[in-house]
Amino acid sequence: MSAGSSASVSVGSQAEGMSVTVPPVLPISVVVPAFRAERFIAEALDSVAAQTAQPSEVIVVDDGSPDRTAALARDRRATVIIQDRGGVSAARNAGILASGQPWIAFLDADDIWEPRKLELQWQAVEGCPDLAAVFCDYTEFDADGPSDRTFLSWKKNFHAIDRRQIAPGIMLCDERSLQQQFYKGNFIVPSTMLTRRDLLVQVGLFDPELTHCEDRDCWLRLLAVGRMAVVERSLMRSRVHDSNASSQRLKMLLGAAKVTERILANPGCYPPGAAAAYAEGQADIYLSAGRLVDELGDRRLARRYYLQAWRLGGGLRPLLLTGLSSVPAMTRLARAAKQVITRSDKTRADRARS
């Protein structure tokens, strides 16, 4: 059986006269970055073992976990790499470089694949062999159960992409259209991606200096060198954890700001038009960050972000917000004025965080 086969084969058991269905093995390395993942790693790896089309190898990169993450991964016959804490980008990069297959499928240690995830994505590769990557839809879930809508179902910029069907439920995205819509917000998460290894290496892998939005940065560089397809079906379940939502939003905004800086510093590494598109939204990112920390009561930091938004061409709004944030005791009138000014920024904040 070839490594690229996508159909199950039957193997006859002479001893018992029975037929056993054996899943095909695909030329795919699964890379799982993991840190303090002992609560979820077993379920994640079990979802890989349940695939109707199996990968050739599974690599878990233990990013300095003090718990039983590595032991649990070994129990499930994964190849385990242990490294000092370096962050998720460094962990993914270590797994990519250690892999021995031409395709990489990412799985975060707390996410779960549906059984046909690799099978259906491989159908896209077979239908269009020059693809750079294939992503898919997914569903978020928490302790109360799954979301009632899939992630891509409510992403307007995703639905605006020009695409054509290459197999049932599998769409080839127009390169330029995908780039333009991706500039409006990221709709691809790592655990949905199947990507060519050589292209990941060519574009420089994940940036280990980015702690947030590192996936957006990597996908943008991939979009500069190849086409992508999408399986319009939820093939992954993404676990939503309890966390400080405001803190996470701020980290995502600042991560988006760093990605923008990289695009502006090295526009040739990104798709045509990326620099102009992200430069246009740069002031909005800092304006949104200022509004967020202002609501949390850190007016000094808020003024810093507001002034940065003004320096980047944000107009008079950030200057006015800087002044209002400088008032020692906000009067009711000043507070009302501030709410009017910031209300129009909420949609900008949503775009910057996506």
By the 8 A CB rule, do 252 and 245 touch?
no
- 152 & 196 share domain: yes
Handedness of CA 66, 69, 74, 80 (dihedral sign): negative
Going from the C-alpha of 334 to that of each of 194, 199, 293, 330, the distances in angstroms are 51, 53, 17, 6
In a domain, 18, yes or no: no
> What local confidence, expressed as pLDDT, does residue 309 receive?
95
Average pLDDT, the chain: 89
- Which of 86-100, 163-177, 232-246 shows the lowest mean pLDDT across its residues? 232-246
- 42 & 132 share domain: yes
Domain ranges, residue 135: 24-242
- 125 & 56 share domain: yes
In a domain, 9, yes or no: no
CA nearest 203: which of 56, 353, 93, 118? Answer: 93
Global pTM value: 0.87
Express each pLDDT in 248-275 by its tens digit: 899 999 999 999 999 999 999 999 999 9
> What local confidence, expressed as pLDDT, does residue 326 receive?
75
Picking from 183, 215, 242, the residue at the C-terminal end of a domain is 242
- 201 & 258 share domain: no
What angle (nearest 5°) sits at the alpha carbon of residue 314, between those of residues 311 and 316? Answer: 100
Q: How many domains does the chain have?
A: 2
Express each pLDDT in 79-127 by its tens digit: 999 999 999 999 999 999 999 999 999 999 999 999 999 999 999 999 9
Which CATH number covers residue 61? 3.90.550.10
- 42 & 90 share domain: yes
In a domain, 16, yes or no: no
Picking from 242, 277, 311, the residue at the C-terminal end of a domain is 242
Q: DSSP for 107-139?
A: --TT-EE-TTHHHHHHHHHHH-TT-SEEEEEEE
- 193 & 301 share domain: no
In a domain, 337, yes or no: yes
